[in-house]
Each structure stands twice: as C-alpha cells, then as structure tokens.
Amino acid sequence: MEPDCALPACIVMAVIEYDSQCSQILELIPKYNCLQPPVSKEFKQYYSREFYRAIVGSTIELIAVLDEEGTYTFVGDSVVASLGYTPEELLGVSALSFIHPEDLPSVKNALEELLKFNTASFPLFRFKAKQGDWRWIECTGRNMLHNDHVRGIMVTSRDVTEAIQLAYDKDYHQAYYKSLFFEHPDTVFTLDINGAFQQVNKHIQTLTAYSKSDILGLPYTALLHPDHVKIATDAISKVWTGEAHTVEVRIVTKLGDIKNISVSVMPVYFRGEVQGVQGIAKDITEAVQAQKLIRQQAQQLNSILDSITEPFYALDHEWRFSFASTSFASFIKMDRSQITGRVIWELWPELKSSKFYGVCQQVAEQQTAAYLEEAFTTPYPGYLHISIYPTPDGVAVHFIDVTEQKNIQREIEKLSLVASKTVNGVIIMDAERKIEWVNDGFCRITGYDREEVLGQIPSDLLQGPGTDPKVAQRIVSKYNSRKPFSEEVLNYRKSGEILWFYIDVTPIFDQEGNLKNFIAIQTDVTEKKEAEGKLLKLADDLYKHNLDLQQFTYIISHNLRAPVANALGLIQLVNKLPKESANFDVAKNKLQASIQQLDTVVKDINKILSLRESGRVTQRETVCLARVCQEVLGQFEDEFLKANVAVHVAIAPDHCLLSIKAYLHSILYNLLSNSLKYKAEDRQLEIWVQTERDKRGYVLTVRDSGSGMDMQLVQKQLFQLYKRFHPNTFGKGIGLFMVKTQVQALGGKIDVESTLNQGTTFKIYLGAKHV
C-alpha cells in the first residue's frame, strides 16, 4: 500500500521530537518523507516515560507490542477509543484470537515474515472489537525483539473500517450508475456543454446505426431530421436552465432511415453547476406508426359506420349515446350533437315500456346479441327490425325500417288468402309460362292435383281437340305480346269433360322490366257458355222468325194488298161505269180474277207456313239422294224429251242421309223446273246433278247451261217470295222461295252462281247433323 500523504502531521511531529531517544521509531520516518521537517539537534532532549505513554495513548493509531507468539505485552491507551478494550484486558492475550478466522492465515503469514525480515505490513484484517463487531484494521509491524528496550514486535494499527465502508459504498454507487448508463435497455447518452456526444451506451448503434466511435464528439444536431432541429435545440436549451423533460423528435440514422424517438433529457449537475446533459432515447417509430394506424383505423371505422345506410348507434353502460351514425341522426331528425351523451330512456321515456327496452337490458346482462321486430310510435311511427349487439362499452344497435315491407307482407298475406280461397282458378307461371303455383280453386275446377301440374304449360294441359285453333293461336300470340289480356277458351277437365274458361292473364315484371311471371285467373264460364249457346240458338231462331215476319209484312203489303186494292178499285169502277159500257164487263171479269188471285196468295202463305212448321216436327228418315233424283227425273221425263234436254247425273249410291224425303224431292223438282223454264232458246239445255261429301255432310249441285242471270242485279232478291226476273216467262215467283225455305228447314244452306247467257249453278249444303 502506498503511503498516505494525508497522515496526521502531529504524529510525524511527535516522532521527530523523540528521535534521539527512539531511533527505531525514527526509522519509520523516511516513509513519511513527504513531510520531512528539518531535523534540528537543538530539539533533542529527554522526555519522561509518562510523556511517551501519553503520546502513544492519545494517538488514534493503536500502538501495541507483541511477543513472538503474538501475545500482547504492551497496548497503547488509544485502544480504548478505537476498539473499546482497556489495555489491561488485552495484555497477555494473543492478538491472533481477535482476528477474523478468514483473515487469520494471512495475518499469521505476515507475522512469520516479520520474524524473518524485521518489517512487514499486514494485509487488511478484521479484528473483533469489544462490542463484538468486526473492525477493519490496517497494520504494520516491526520486529524489535532484539531491541533491549522493547523486546517484542511493535505493531501500529489503525481502524480503517470507515474508509473501507466509504470505498465500498463509492464503488457500489459507481457500479450502480454505470449499469444505469451502460446497461439501460434504452439508448443513454451524455452531451457536453457544447452539445457534442460525450458518452453513449451500446444501444446507440441499434437506434442510430452510428457506432460508439462514430458518434462521440458529434453534435447531437447531426442526427436530427431537419424539421426537428428547432424542437430539439429548444428542448436542450431548457435543460441548460435545469429543467428535465421529455421530447419527441425525428432523427435520421446513418443509413438514412427516419425514426421517431422519445428523449428524456436531464441536466447533469457537478459541483452545483450544470456540466452536461444526459439523455435517454427510446425508439417510438413503431409506436408512432401504430398510433397513426390506430388513428387512421378509427377514422376509417368512423367513416364506415357513417357510410352504413342502416341507422346505427352505440350506448354505453349508462345507456348514453356514445355514437350515432348520420343515418340515425337523420332518421330521428336531430343533430348528432343533440343526442351524444344523452341517456336514451331519458330522451324518449316512452321507450321504457317497449319490448326493445327489455331486450337491451338482456343483451347488456347476458352479453349475447339479440334481434327483434317491433312497431314504434316514438320518436317516429314505424316498424323496425332491430339488431342489438353487446360491446365492451355497452350495446350497439342498428335497425332497418321495415314498415313498408311489413305493409307489403300483410298485403301479400291477404292477397294470397284471397288467391287460395277464391272460387276462381289462379295460376302463377314463370316467364316461360310453366306453372309455378295453382290455387285450390284450380284443382277443384280442373280436377288436377297441384303437384302434377307444376312445370306444365296451362294451354298444353287444358286445351283439347274441341279448342278453337284460332283462339289457341291468339292466346299464344297474346302471351308473347307480354300485355294483359283476357280470352274465352274451351278447355278440358282431367276427366275429359268440357270446360269453358274465361281467362284473365297479367304479366308481372321486375323493377328492371324483365318478365318474371304470368298470373292467370280462370273463371268457369261453362254454364254461361252453354246458356249462351242456347241463347244464340234462340237468337238465331228469333232472327229467322223476324226475317219471316218481315217477309210476311212484305207479302201482305204487296202480294196480298195488290189483289185487294184491285178488287176495291174495280168495284168502284163497276159502280161508276154504265152497265152498257165495254169496260163494265171487263171490269167485272177482272174483279173475279183479282179475288181468285187473293185466294191463291192466301193459300201460298198457308203452304209456306205449314212447310216451315212441318220442317221442325217431321220425323227424319234415311234418304238416298240418288233415289230421290231418279224419282224427280222420272217426273220430267216427257218434258225433257220434248225439249231435248241432256241430263248428267253423278250421285254415289251410298250418299244417304237422315232427312225429309218430300223436301229433298220438292227442292230438286223446283230447281229442275227452273232450269227447264229458263233455258237458253238458242242452244240445247244440259243439266248436271251431282253430290259430293264435304266436312259437314253432302253438297248437292244442280248446274244448267240455261240463260243464266246477272247476279249483280238478282242476288239480293233471288230467293224472295213473288220475286220474278223474267217478265216474259210465266211464273209466280214462289219456286226459289220454297226451295230456300225447305233447305233451311232441313238445316242446310243454298248458294247460287250464275252468268248471263251461260248458265246457273245451285249448291245445296246439307248439314252434318243429318248424316
């Protein structure tokens, strides 16, 4: 151990003073030569034994003498102050017994060394004080066994416990602060008064990419992002005024990366002055980034929430509005600021009696989402579909206003009730006219089950051989026109029975105008149709009767009235003329002729009426046309022969029908009679009689090569009674009228074609019902 310059001067002085007497002591002096006083012979004088004793006893040094075994032979009085023992307590006791066992070997070694080399310094050791505590002792020894005055080993000891403690503490604190600096997980640095880096810990490289050697001596501003130099210099200036604080700045690393750091800067005081700045820097780039991200996300979330068109709001645990979307605000017609922070149940107390209130409580308690639909009157009337979700802060509520859907739904329910219960048949088809649904009415009317008609096309299913192809075609084209329409159509039940439907079809389009469905409503009009048929027949009869009546009116006003008028006139004339006059007799004869004509007309009318009546009631019999023709021709045999008429007959023997033979006979007779009557004078008369089948029965044709008629002139009146077109030929004008009446009585139809001077063709269509 180096000699301590701080040794108390007084001891040195004392040693110097008794030098002449204690030369051995003086030998110590060179060790303290740093304070070697000038030695003067004049100071050499004798001091008493007590003097030495006092000197030795009052020094803080413990001076003792040991024998060869280490037993105390002398103990200075200072031992009391330092170790608590009295000198008497130690005398005769081995000094080694007070030494700490751990230190004992080294002490023993030193003692042996002392015996060999005369001087030795002991390592520091612990010595048990009177109080029982261990005291650190610094000790030097000198072998003075050969000194007659001493005859022992002189040891000079000093209690250095305090110093040891102090040194330990200093080391400890230093280590502590060192570790705080160097081992700190963040970057720690010090700046000198010029702002240059003085010391940094190892983390500087991680933070800045500068190595320790790079950075020492660099001004801190060298690391700063240009935008942040001001903030940083302001912060450092503040530290110089003694204020520690934390600042966030942006730096640029050696690699050019930009980092955000949080720096706590504090002044370093030394001897009462701020001598530098110490700083702890933390990389908060990620934190800043994260914060930024969180802010962005929050912003984004807000915009998302606001962009949701469904009204949305959040309530905290106290049922206060913590968030309300724009759509909600517009739904309640209030500003968001008016409701934020308000308790929903206070804002609208009526809600407390709603189902919604209960569900909200339940969601908050059970922390599970719930949904409900409820009609509200507050704040606005409407039917809402509400979803309530638990959130960490309370509940989130969003809802859809389903008032309209609800109304539509109710209407649909009613309509579907009507559709399914109505007596009419209802069919819903897809755009391809395939059946998607039919109601009970359809099944009841048609006899089909619902399942067996699904996917079928109603027209294909229901129409049959009796359906008018024109109507069927019209229905198809009306479907294709995609416009609503209605039709009456003959359909068939599953059983094959005839069914008349009045159908009313409506196409259904979606919002884009695409055809989605057809809806057909069928009304069973079979009975009506049958009644209509009867009515039609009745109307036809009535029409015919009416025509008859008109005809009779005409007959009466002309044919019957004419002879009456003549008779009246003639009577007038007869009364007026003298009996002798020539005209008197003429008038009398003509009067008789007129009366006879009157009689004929009355008989004709009677004949026609009875013919009409008998046509209705006479029993039909099977009549073969060839046979009838044969009979009629037989009647004309002589006349035809006389007039040189060529007759060509082409009637198949199997052309037979249920009819009235007398009528057919009369018809043929009249036609042949006319042909003969109106033959062309300049050529031979040829007559063709033939029959052929048509779809309803037979067509009887009588063609001649006679004088013919100008059809333009005659066609309207040809078949009327008493109409005659050949003034030079005898005739009453009743023949063709009779023919037509008889054909009609048989349910047939007569057509005529004629060309003047070429001939005439009569075609008689004998209806199918007589086949």
Partner 1 sequence: MFKSVYIIDDDEVSAFLTEAMLTAEDFAESYQTFLNPCDALQQILPYLLETKPDQLPEIIILDLNMPYMNGWEFLDALEPYAYLLENYCLIYMLTSSVDVKDIRRAQEYDFLAGFLQKPIEEDIIRKILNET
Q: Return the half-sphere exposure (C-beta side, CA atoms, 13 A cut-off) of residue 373.
A: 8
Residue 232 corresponds to which amino acid? A
Question: Of residues 97, 338, 378, 572, which one binds partner 1 by CB under 8 A?
Answer: 572
Dihedrals φ, ψ of 404, to 5°? -65, -45
Compute the distance between CA of residue 457 and CA of residue 431 in angstroms, rounded to an integer: 11
Q: In the complex, what is the shortest distance from the CB of residue 590 to partner 1, in angstroms, rounded to a whole number?
A: 5
Question: Of residues 184, 534, 561, 716, which one binds partner 1 by CB under 8 A?
Answer: 561
Question: Of residues 263, 587, 657, 736, which one binds partner 1 by CB under 8 A?
Answer: 587
Assigned token pair, 531? 């009644």
Q: Cβ closer to partner 1: 457 or 577?
A: 577
Q: Cβ closer to partner 1: 522 or 594?
A: 594
Q: Does residue 40 contact residue 63 with C-beta atoms inside 8 Å?
A: no
The one segment of 72-80, 264-272, 348-356, 579-587 that binds partner 1 by CB under 8 A: 579-587
Q: Could you give the dihedral angle defined by the CA atoms of residues 663, 666, 670 and 675, in that order, rounded to the nearest 10 degrees?
A: 100
Q: Cβ closer to partner 1: 592 or 622?
A: 592
| Angstrom distances, CA of residue 656 to CA of 321, 323, 767 | 101, 99, 12
The one segment of 65-73, 239-247, 592-600, 748-756 that binds partner 1 by CB under 8 A: 592-600
CB atoms within 10 A of CB 299: 10
Compute the distance between CA of residue 83 and CA of residue 132 in angstroms, rounded to an integer: 10
Q: Does 594 bind partner 1 (CB under 8 A)?
A: yes
Give how far the C-alpha of residue 480 lies from the chain's centroid of Cα atoms, to the nearest Å: 34
What is the DSSP track for 593-654? HHHHHHHHHHHHHHHHHHHHHHHHHSPPEEEEHHHHHHHHHHHHHHHHHHHT-EEEEE--TT
Question: Of residues 54, 115, 568, 649, which one binds partner 1 by CB under 8 A?
Answer: 568
Element (H, E) at 294: helix 285-307
Which residues ranging from 696 to 725 are in contact with partner 1 (CB under 8 A)?
Answer: 723-725
Residue 627 corresponds to which amino acid? R
Which residues ranging from 239 to 298 are in contact with partner 1 (CB under 8 A)?
Answer: none
The one segment of 126-134, 225-233, 322-330, 572-580 that binds partner 1 by CB under 8 A: 572-580
The one segment of 135-143, 303-311, 553-561, 625-633 that binds partner 1 by CB under 8 A: 553-561
Which residues ranging from 165 to 204 are in contact with partner 1 (CB under 8 A)?
Answer: none
Question: Of residues 86, 302, 486, 583, which one binds partner 1 by CB under 8 A?
Answer: 583
Q: Cβ closer to partner 1: 566 or 673?
A: 566
Q: Cβ closer to partner 1: 554 or 765?
A: 554
Among residues 212, 197, 201, which one has the least CA distance to residue 178?
Answer: 201
Question: Of residues 338, 726, 751, 757, which one binds partner 1 by CB under 8 A?
Answer: 726
Compute the distance between CA of residue 660 and CA of residue 617 in angstroms, rounded to an integer: 11
Q: Does 586 bind partner 1 (CB under 8 A)?
A: yes
Q: Does 553 bind partner 1 (CB under 8 A)?
A: yes
Q: Does 566 bind partner 1 (CB under 8 A)?
A: yes
The one segment of 248-256, 386-394, 580-588, 744-752 that binds partner 1 by CB under 8 A: 580-588
Q: Does 593 bind partner 1 (CB under 8 A)?
A: yes
| Angstrom distances, CA of residue 369 to CA of 359, 361, 387, 389, 557 | 9, 11, 7, 4, 99
Q: In the complex, what is the shortest distance from the CB of residue 761 to partner 1, in angstroms, rounded to a whole number?
A: 21
Q: Cβ closer to partner 1: 444 or 576?
A: 576
Q: Does residue 278 contact residue 268 with C-beta atoms inside 8 Å?
A: yes
Compute the distance between CA of residue 396 and CA of residue 392 in angstroms, rounded to an integer: 10
Residue whose tokens read 């080391």:
171
Q: Cβ closer to partner 1: 483 or 726?
A: 726
The one segment of 360-368, 382-390, 486-494, 588-596 that binds partner 1 by CB under 8 A: 588-596
Q: In the complex, what is the shortest distance from the CB of residue 677 to partner 1, in angstroms, rounded to a whole number?
A: 14
Q: Which residues of 586-694 form beta strands (DSSP E)?
A: 621-624, 646-650, 656-659, 686-694
Regarding beta strands 187-191 and 197-200, do their DSSP bridges make them parallel or antiparallel, or are they unpaired? antiparallel
Q: Does 552 bind partner 1 (CB under 8 A)?
A: no
Question: Of residues 334, 564, 605, 745, which one binds partner 1 by CB under 8 A?
Answer: 564
Q: Cβ closer to partner 1: 174 or 557?
A: 557
Q: Give the CA angle between residues 59, 65, 69 to the nearest 5°.
A: 150
| Angstrom distances, CA of residue 663 to CA of 275, 582, 743 | 152, 48, 8
Assigned token pair, 379? 């704040």
Question: Of residues 84, 379, 733, 767, which one binds partner 1 by CB under 8 A?
Answer: 733
Q: Does 605 bind partner 1 (CB under 8 A)?
A: no
Q: Give the CA angle between residues 655, 660, 664 to the nearest 5°.
A: 65
Residues that bind partner 1 (CB under 8 A): 553-554, 557-558, 561-566, 568-570, 572-573, 576-577, 583, 586-587, 590, 593-594, 597, 723-727, 733
